[in-house]
Amino acid sequence: MSVDNPCLSCGACCASFRVSFYWAEADAESGGVVPLEFTEKLNPWRSVMAGTNQPQPRCRALCGDIGGYTTCSIYDQRPSPCREFEAGSEGCLKARAKHGLPLDFPDWRAA
């Protein structure tokens, strides 16, 4: 992740949504890479990132304070919903608004 990446001073998405994914992403025998200790079973087909299936979600892998320096402790092993989530997307802006963070930040990818 680039040093200029706004995600490193945000973390709002990691404390706004339930992160659910197909269980095999956390099953080493099936080729999954998400560390099992960071997941919880949702149903027979889906798992969630631990801490995100709560009324006030916060992913157990999130390190730091929302709006300050943040990082993901399992960034290279994060599940598909996290890999697909984009800075500046509608979901990103919704999460930032929920946490009172500015909605206008530069497009770090354009540089």
Q: Is the Cβ–Cβ distance between 48 and 26 less than 8 Å?
A: no
> Is the pLDDT assigned to residue 33 strictly greater than 70?
yes
Q: Which residue has the higher pLDDT, 33 or 110?
A: 33
What is the per-residue pLDDT across 52-110, written as a single tens digit (0 to 9) for each?
999 999 999 999 999 999 999 999 999 999 999 999 999 999 999 999 999 886 565 55
> Is the pLDDT assigned to residue 4 strictly greater than 80?
no
C-alpha to C-alpha distance for 31 and 16, rounded to whole angstroms: 28
**What residues have CB less than 8 Å from 87, skipping those under 6 apart?**
5, 6, 7, 10, 108, 109
Q: Which residue has the higher pLDDT, 11 or 109?
A: 11
pLDDT confidence bin for 7, thresholds 50/70/90: confident
Task: For CA atoms 36, 77, 31, 15, give the dihedral sign.
Answer: positive
Q: What is the DSSP letter of 92?
A: H
pLDDT confidence bin for 2, thresholds 50/70/90: very low
